[in-house]
Structure 1
Amino acid sequence: MMTPAIIETMRSELAAALPRWNLSERATLTFLSHSENTTFLAEDPLSGQRLVLRVQRIGYHAPAEIASELSWITALIADDVIATPRPLADRDGLLLCSVRLNGSMRQVVAFEHMSGHEPDQSGSLPSWFVKLGMLTAQLHRHSRSWTRPPAFQRKTWDFDAMLGTRPLWGDWRAALGLGDSERQLLQRVADSLADRISTYGQQSERFGLVHADLRLANLLVDGERLGIIDFDDCGFSWFFYDFAAAVSFMEHESVVADLQQAWLQGYRTVAPVSKDDEAMLPVFVMLRRMLLTAWISSHSDTETARRLGTDYTHGTVAMGERFLRGA
């Protein structure tokens, strides 16, 4: 469990290591967030440099997987595909650094700080989803054409990894506040999702390297620019699952229909979308909703889980009922 005391110990010890990234002794370190990983903002008043330090969650990604994430980010920046923070090496030239924090060796990655704020959930959100759809299509185009390094390793986000036999974010059946009758209903939803997804298939034109977490918290608006951050969950999944991730935590809201049309409008300026692809978007939204319901249960030490709690589970059941009626 990540407690405020543990976070403060981590912050203090990581602050002592800041010279490793060529920051002065006057540099400060501030806690930003804890979700899958724990992030801090480093600011050096002498150089004006600002870095975001990401402390990797223990036991989630292997070092080779993190290095692979950074290789894709580096390629995306080099090929001018999207605006995203650049990974920064330490004074020894290492992008992935081992630092002893709170009694354990932890993997730490430094990124350039990117200005901006999360898109406002207001009437302007569909216009940002037009841009997000365009950027997502550019990401997918790069993913399809990029020659990955021979040692490239990332997780595969297929049905089994989400809701099946090897759930990476926990078992949805253990969701907070889930009763027996509700569990039975969501089992019918999971079975329906499995059937639809199996029929759709994992051919290379439908399944490949994706960001997999393009939710609002990972988007940074600055003027007309829409930046994309946090490739920590990037991996192999359905390309159009990226839309479902984009509407995370608001899947049940009526605005999602407008956001889907806006996202498709932007995507189609770069690449075609077939009728079969479009028909799968609500399926992937339901899949993502159940995956996040499991995540909340297995990540109870996060602010997001504490804030959403059992209400999110009950909303998932209501969504599941509607999904089955329309399936």
Structure 2
Amino acid sequence: MTSVTHAWQSAAEAVVAEWGIDATQAGIDVVFVSESENFVFRVRDDDGRQYVLRLHRPGYHNRSELDAEHIWIQVLAEAGLKVPCAHRTSDDSGYAIAKGPDGSRFAGLYDWEEGQILSEVLASDNSQLAHWYEQIGTTAARMHLTAMAFKPDDTFVRHAFDAEGTMGDQPFWGRFWDDSRHTSEDSEYLNDLRNHIHRRLKTLPTSSDTYGMIHADMHANNVLTTNDEIMVIDFDDAGFGWYQFDLAVALPAHDSPHHGIAADALIRGYQSVRSMGPQFFESIPLFQLIRSMNHIGWFLARYDLPQKHLRSMVNGIRERVVSVIPDFDV
């Protein structure tokens, strides 16, 4: 049994019993790994097998939405994609309830995958950057082809990164323009820009060849490298959206010195699996801008952002709008 290192340590040790793992036994470890949307622990059973235990952030997804996440991961696995393997509890449930010091959280258990996070690989050696982003492109294309063939029933419930989910009155990641920490000028600017983009998104097609289930968070922190291959992890944000949104999120920031190389490689990899005309990729900068705007809402809901930092984020968006949406009249 592991000594307590996190406020939810005892809860994590207790809930793994739902998968037949007795954390009180010698040789079994439950070790805190990280905290972002979820609390993440590494679990080792008495046979030496390792797992990832995720304690999900309360209120982010309900049980039906979490079940849909497992369904989507299984669909991708059946299509031959490398994805995390979820384990069902002893009573054949996808999740258990962990009870901790400040409430309860849904708990899910997955195989622990050895490897190195792509962002760490590139931080130490970016000589193979094009290679990795080409692989992300091929993986994204395979996911999108799978999404095109996916026909969920009415019980499959996930959020959407559509016009309403990104630029509507109640975006999935929060009202990024509506916060007292903004200056009145910045708040008005973001709201006007939001409405402009919302109108544009409403004109985009949502047929299955351009819109469907996406990962929505396929950046380098959520890509695991093993030898010469990649595995996309963390499907917490997976939902319905335009496929170009996936590609936009996968790329480095637009002002990164590696953006051009990464974009060329990503598109090359995508095209090798799913041949698309150049117009398909022309909206990637728009979706990068949308992601940046949504990210403000994400940060505002989770951190006490200094106004200086917040203004810097808004100013970055202002600079991008000039080239991405030249017809936007402020």
User: TM-score when scaled to structure 1?
Assistant: 0.87
- 2:154 pairs with 1:154: no
Question: 1:109 — aligned with what?
Answer: 108
Provide the C-alpha distance between the structure 2 equivalents of 1:252 and 1:43, rounded to a whole number of angstroms. Answer: 41
1:1-327 residue pairs with structure 2 within 5 A? 8-24=6-22, 25-26=25-26, 27-44=28-45, 46-80=46-80, 82-102=81-101, 104-119=103-118, 120-121=122-123, 122-174=126-178, 178-247=182-251, 250-300=253-303, 310-311=308-309, 313-327=311-325
- Checking the alignment, whether the CA contact within 8 Å between 2:289 and 2:317 is kept in structure 1 is yes
Q: For structure 2, which runs of at least 5 residues remain unmatched after alignment?
A: 326-330
Equivalent residue letter for 2:97: S
Q: For structure 1, which runs of at least 5 residues remain unmatched after alignment?
A: 1-5
- Checking the alignment, whether the CA contact within 8 Å between 1:252 and 1:315 is kept in structure 2 is no
Provide the C-alpha distance between the structure 2 equivalents of 1:261 and 1:165, rounded to a whole number of angstroms. Answer: 35
User: TM-score when scaled to structure 2?
Assistant: 0.86
Partner SS for 1:233 = coil
Q: How far did 1:199 drift?
A: 3.1
Provide the C-alpha distance between the structure 2 equivalents of 1:170 and 1:52, rounded to a whole number of angstroms. Answer: 28
Q: How far did 1:69 drift?
A: 0.8
Provide the C-alpha distance between the structure 2 equivalents of 1:240 and 1:176, rounded to a whole number of angstroms. Answer: 32
Q: How far did 1:67 drift?
A: 0.5
Provide the C-alpha distance between the structure 2 equivalents of 1:252 and 1:239, rounded to a whole number of angstroms. Answer: 22
**Which is further off, 175-184 or 144-153?**
175-184
- Checking the alignment, whether the CA contact within 8 Å between 1:176 and 1:310 is kept in structure 2 is no
**Which is further off, 189-198 or 61-70?**
189-198
After superposition, the C-alpha distances for 1:76-103 in whole angstroms (9 at most, x for unaligned) are 21231x2111001122222211232225
Aligned length: 314
Provide the C-alpha distance between the structure 2 equivalents of 1:312 and 1:263, rounded to a whole number of angstroms. Answer: 30
Q: How far did 1:204 drift?
A: 3.0
**Which is further off, 167-176 or 146-155?**
167-176
- Checking the alignment, whether the CA contact within 8 Å between 2:178 and 2:187 is kept in structure 1 is no
Partner SS for 1:33 = strand
Equivalent residue letter for 1:156: A
What is the alpha-carbon root mean square deviation over aligned residues? 2.4
- Checking the alignment, whether the CA contact within 8 Å between 2:286 and 2:324 is kept in structure 1 is no
Q: How far did 1:237 drift?
A: 0.6
Partner SS for 2:117 = coil
Question: 2:328 — aligned with what?
Answer: none
Percent identity (aligned): 23
Provide the C-alpha distance between the structure 1 equivalents of 2:262 and 2:192, rounded to a whole number of angstroms. Answer: 27
- Checking the alignment, whether the CA contact within 8 Å between 2:116 and 2:225 is kept in structure 1 is yes
Q: How far did 1:7 drift?
A: 8.2
Q: How far did 1:30 drift?
A: 1.7
Provide the C-alpha distance between the structure 2 equivalents of 1:150 and 1:178, rounded to a whole number of angstroms. Answer: 40
Provide the C-alpha distance between the structure 2 equivalents of 1:77 and 1:101, rounded to a whole number of angstroms. Answer: 32
Equivalent residue letter for 1:112: D
- Checking the alignment, whether the CA contact within 8 Å between 1:157 and 1:235 is kept in structure 2 is yes
Q: How far did 1:112 drift?
A: 0.5
Equivalent residue letter for 1:317: N
Equivalent residue letter for 1:268: Q
